Structure 1
């Protein structure tokens, strides 16, 4: 046997019988070249390096703000994750932060907020149309779309940033910006079914539906934010909790009075103005008829 960097010594008798040795009968020898082994060996990357953490090769996998890879990590979810998180938001059986499992995303909050904006515009337009039945001409109010975008996007992304900054100011180490945004984003999911059924001209039904949406989403936020807010002192946590509930109530009231015309005092004012405009038109017609005569 040629010497390839190792020696094998086997003691056999003259007849070639191995006799009673420690080698098993089915033992087979295969030729191997250990000199090529270092070139074939590949070091597996560290899991912390893949996420941009510290590691031996973290300098080669850094994610910068101007690179797409930095933002792609916030959208690293699949369909099963989204369905599981949406179900947990509508039917909370466990803490939503446990459902996130340390991987909060921005994909769900963005598309949920966008869907709510579109549905609010459509149902708000239907509600206005039903409230103005009998009029000669109905004009679409596209300011509802811009108003819905400003309201929902602002509430979903600005309020969590303010809450996170306040918690950091008071020394809370458990506050996480992405988790706050994810909580508010998935809490908006309840407004989709509420908007789909709140276009009715019956005012009391609209109040009931919006109230149910407010109760479900406020309970979701309270249940998941309370452990985070409790990291501060008792007085501060109570104040922050009241502010969170008040802001959420303001969102519900704005949705009711801005998008659902039946029973809204703002829409009544518009009707009153329209009536005066009609009276003015009648006076102008009468004056023209007199001058023609």
Structure 2
């Protein structure tokens, strides 16, 4: 064993980084080369380009005239529809900010469409029942009036779409800006067109049971139902839209218009479909004879 001086062992040795990197790289390359050369089944394959899946189109970028645009307005659960129907009749059952928290951010058209269709057929059927009861003791051959369905559909669908559109335009152009810093806040508090369609559709739910009660042939009771339905339906709308209505420079006129249109709708339903005609001597021909009723 050769003698090594202790001083040489304690001295630091100078190793060049370039020499170390080069030798390490040569050793690694030699190992891989020997491994592949010793394997007779080795074949070089060029790496294949893997096609990355295309990003899915973002929801909400669909055109207004496409069906995909309206799919989000029918994405609603049954319990949400029931909750909104109850809130349209009894707003105290839900929180004060229910419109801002649940309806304004996620309006739906599923509930309003079914409520409108149900109300159309309820009024048509109840109107014919009321007409039958009015002529039950008269010598008149009664027939079902199928035209009541088209009349009710025209009135209800026109009301549900035109009146919210007019209210949306009124709120859009009559909101008073208090300052440049508050414009964005005011715009966010103003309900969208779809949220108004949703609100007005649900507000008609009170008329479904009232349309059945209108078949009772008592004049003062029918008018009581008119006032009750118009007041409840209009008051719920004002209750939900009050923060936005207060920003309008025509606040009393807008509130009065909401109640007036609901009263006109209820009055039109009652007078056209359920009104008891005044009694008098009206000649009705039955066969060859004429009977006064």
Count of paired positions:
227
Tell me the residue number matched to 1:68: 67
Asked if structure 2 preserves the Cα contact closer than 8 Å seen for 1:113 and 1:153, the reply is yes
CA offsets, 1:231-266, max 9 Å, x none?
222xx111111111111111111111111133xxxx
How far apart are the structure 2 equivalents of 1:260 and 1:96? 35
How far apart are the structure 2 equivalents of 1:257 and 1:96? 35
Among 159, 162, 186, the alignment partner of 2:163 is: 159
How far apart are the structure 1 equivalents of 2:58 and 2:248? 33
Alignment of 1:14-33 (within 5 A): none
1:74 Cα deviation after fit: 1.7
Asked if structure 1 preserves the Cα contact closer than 8 Å seen for 2:231 and 2:263, the reply is no
Tell me the residue number matched to 1:147: 151
SS in 1 for 2:124: helix
Asked if structure 2 preserves the Cα contact closer than 8 Å seen for 1:88 and 1:99, the reply is no
More deviation, 136-145/184-193: 136-145
Asked if structure 2 preserves the Cα contact closer than 8 Å seen for 1:123 and 1:195, the reply is yes
More deviation, 205-214/77-86: 205-214
Tell me the residue number matched to 1:177: 193
1:204 Cα deviation after fit: 2.2
CA offsets, 1:131-160, max 9 Å, x none?
011334102222322221111111111100
Tell me the residue number matched to 1:276: 283
Runs of 4+ in 1 over 6 A off after TM superposition: 41-45
1:44 Cα deviation after fit: 9.1
How far apart are the structure 1 equivalents of 2:234 and 2:116? 16
How far apart are the structure 2 equivalents of 1:65 and 1:100? 20
How far apart are the structure 1 equivalents of 2:98 and 2:219? 34
Tell me the residue number matched to 2:239: 223
Cα 1:254–1:167 change in 2 (3 A) is same
Tell me the residue number matched to 1:237: 251
Pick 1 or 2: higher relative contact order, CA cutoff 8 A, min separation 6: 2
How far apart are the structure 1 equivalents of 2:257 and 2:104? 27
Tell me the residue number matched to 1:129: 132
Cα 1:101–1:183 change in 2 (3 A) is closer
How far apart are the structure 2 equivalents of 1:146 and 1:178? 25
Tell me the residue number matched to 1:196: 212
| 1:85 matched to 2:84 | yes
Let me know the Cα RMSD of the aligned residues. Answer: 2.9
Tell me the residue number matched to 2:172: 168
Among 102, 109, 114, the alignment partner of 2:112 is: 109
1:222 Cα deviation after fit: 1.5
Task: Extract unaligned runs of 5+ from structure 1.
Answer: 1-38, 53-61, 284-293
Task: Report the TM-score when normalising by structure 2.
Answer: 0.69
Task: Extract unaligned runs of 5+ from structure 2.
Answer: 1-49, 176-185
How far apart are the structure 2 equivalents of 1:177 and 1:136? 48
